[in-house]
């Protein structure tokens, strides 16, 4: 049975919410008991369906193997059924493993940072020029421009943040992590979010989880607190452990 929250919850779990909807989910989880119950039911049902599908496929394969052993020579239909079932199991496991891999979690969660400053009268400044390079995806040139600003203005958090973003776009993860980890002020939560994603892509799960916890504990930006909670839940999912070990 659908409720007024069903569509919102489904799109939440499919990573389809805009920023206003992300905030609304956060508020509903904190204040609305009906929403909380439906949210938890949906999360539990989603996991149970996926896990039971894998278990049922494995059990069916086991039964077919026993039947094949007990009735030799094997009949063609049994061989065909076993082959189809094996393909289904391999396909399901491959999909699940791929869906919960570090790379896939990164790809689903990562979106380049928006330009927050070009409409604030920065066009004629060094920062404005650097942002134009960033916005036109001239990332090596943007790295040079933001680095120049940071060297002369060590406390310029905007330059530091977008320097880290440009390094991420160039797949220079280690340097991006070091740069973004130094960001403070208004950009702190978002910078930490990208640090966690970069660590995840590198396979450093324990370090990524620690950064996600830092974001949640600080509770400075509700949009990134919710993002951190969702990514942490996916990383800690029992189904992820089931299919990747």
Residues 152 and 186 in one domain: yes
Q: In the chain, pLDDT over 70 holds for what percent of residues?
A: 69
Q: Of 192, 220, 226, 217, which Cα lies nearest the Cα of 207?
A: 192
Instruction: Say how many domains are in the chain.
Output: 2
Query: Tokens at residue 19, please?
Result: 């920023």
CATH number of residue 160's parent domain: 1.25.40.10
Tell me how long the chain is: 245
pLDDT of residue 1 exceeding 80, the answer is no
Residues 117 and 229 in one domain: yes
61 within a domain of the structure (yes/no): yes
1 within a domain of the structure (yes/no): no
Exposure on the CB side of residue 145, measured as CA atoms within 13 A: 20
Give the C-alpha separation, 31 to 5, whole Å. Answer: 14
Residues 126 and 208 in one domain: yes
**What are the counts of helices (DSSP H) followed by strands (DSSP E) for the chain?**
13, 0
- How far from chain centre, in Å, is Cα 241? 16
- How far from chain centre, in Å, is Cα 8? 18
**Residue that finishes a domain, picked among 65, 99, 133:** 99
Give the C-alpha separation, 175 to 184, whole Å. Answer: 17
> What one-character DSSP code corresponds to residue 185?
G
**Residue that finishes a domain, picked among 99, 132, 147:** 99
Average pLDDT over residues 190-203: 96
Average pLDDT over residues 203-220: 95
189 within a domain of the structure (yes/no): yes
> CA end-to-end span of the chain, whole Å?
36
Residue in this structure with the two tokens 């094996």, named with its chain if needed: 86
Query: Tokens at residue 69, please?
Result: 């052993």
Determine contact, residues 198/212, Cβ cutoff 8 Å. Answer: no
Which residue segment(s) compose the domain that 22 sits in? 11-99
- How far from chain centre, in Å, is Cα 140? 26
pLDDT of the residue at 11 = 75
Provide the pLDDT confidence category of residue 183 given band limits of 50, 70 and 90. very high
Residues 71 and 127 in one domain: no
Residues 167 and 58 in one domain: no
Average pLDDT over residues 191-205: 96
Residues 204 and 122 in one domain: yes
pLDDT of residue 39 exceeding 80, the answer is yes
71 within a domain of the structure (yes/no): yes
Average pLDDT over residues 210-228: 93
Residues 64 and 122 in one domain: no
Residues 29 and 56 in one domain: yes
Enclosing H/E stretch for 182: none
Give the C-alpha separation, 228 to 200, whole Å. Answer: 12
pTM, 2 dp: 0.65
131-173 pLDDT, tens digit each? 999 999 999 999 999 999 999 999 999 999 999 999 999 999 9
The helix-helix angle for 188-201 and 102-109 (nearest 10°) equals 150
Residues 95 and 128 in one domain: no
Provide the pLDDT confidence category of residue 34 given band limits of 50, 70 and 90. confident
Q: Angle at CA 107, nearest 5°, toward 29 and 6?
A: 30
pLDDT of residue 226 exceeding 70, the answer is yes
**Residue that finishes a domain, picked among 99, 128, 148:** 99
Mean pLDDT for all residues in the chain? 80
105 within a domain of the structure (yes/no): no
Residues 117 and 167 in one domain: yes
37 within a domain of the structure (yes/no): yes
Longest Cα separation, the chain = 82
């Amino acid at each position: 049975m659908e409720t007024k929250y069903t569509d919102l919850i489904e799109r939440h779990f499919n990573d389809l919410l805009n920023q206003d909807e992300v905030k609304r989910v956060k508020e509903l989880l904190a204040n609305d008991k009906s929403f909380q119950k439906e949210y938890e039911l949906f999360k539990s049902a989603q996991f149970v369906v996926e896990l039971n599908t894998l278990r049922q496929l494995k059990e069916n394969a086991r039964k077919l193997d026993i039947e094949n052993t007990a009735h030799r020579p094997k009949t063609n239909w049994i061989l065909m059924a076993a082959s189809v079932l094996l393909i289904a199991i391999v396909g399901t496991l491959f999909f699940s493993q791929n869906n919960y891999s570090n790379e896939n979690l990164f790809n689903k969660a990562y979106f380049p940072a928006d330009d927050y400053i070009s409409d604030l009268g920065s066009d004629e400044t060094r920062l404005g020029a650097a942002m134009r390079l960033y916005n036109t995806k001239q990332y090596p040139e943007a790295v040079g421009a933001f680095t120049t600003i940071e060297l002369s203005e060590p406390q310029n958090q905007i330059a530091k943040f977008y320097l880290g973003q440009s390094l991420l776009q160039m797949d220079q993860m280690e340097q991006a992590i070091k740069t973004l980890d130094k960001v403070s002020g208004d950009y702190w939560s978002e910078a930490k979010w990208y640090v966690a994603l970069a660590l995840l892509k590198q396979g450093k799960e324990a370090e990524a989880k620690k950064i996600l916890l830092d974001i949640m504990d600080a509770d400075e930006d509700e949009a990134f607190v919710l993002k951190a909670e969702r990514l942490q839940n996916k990383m800690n999912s029992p189904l992820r452990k089931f299919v990747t070990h």
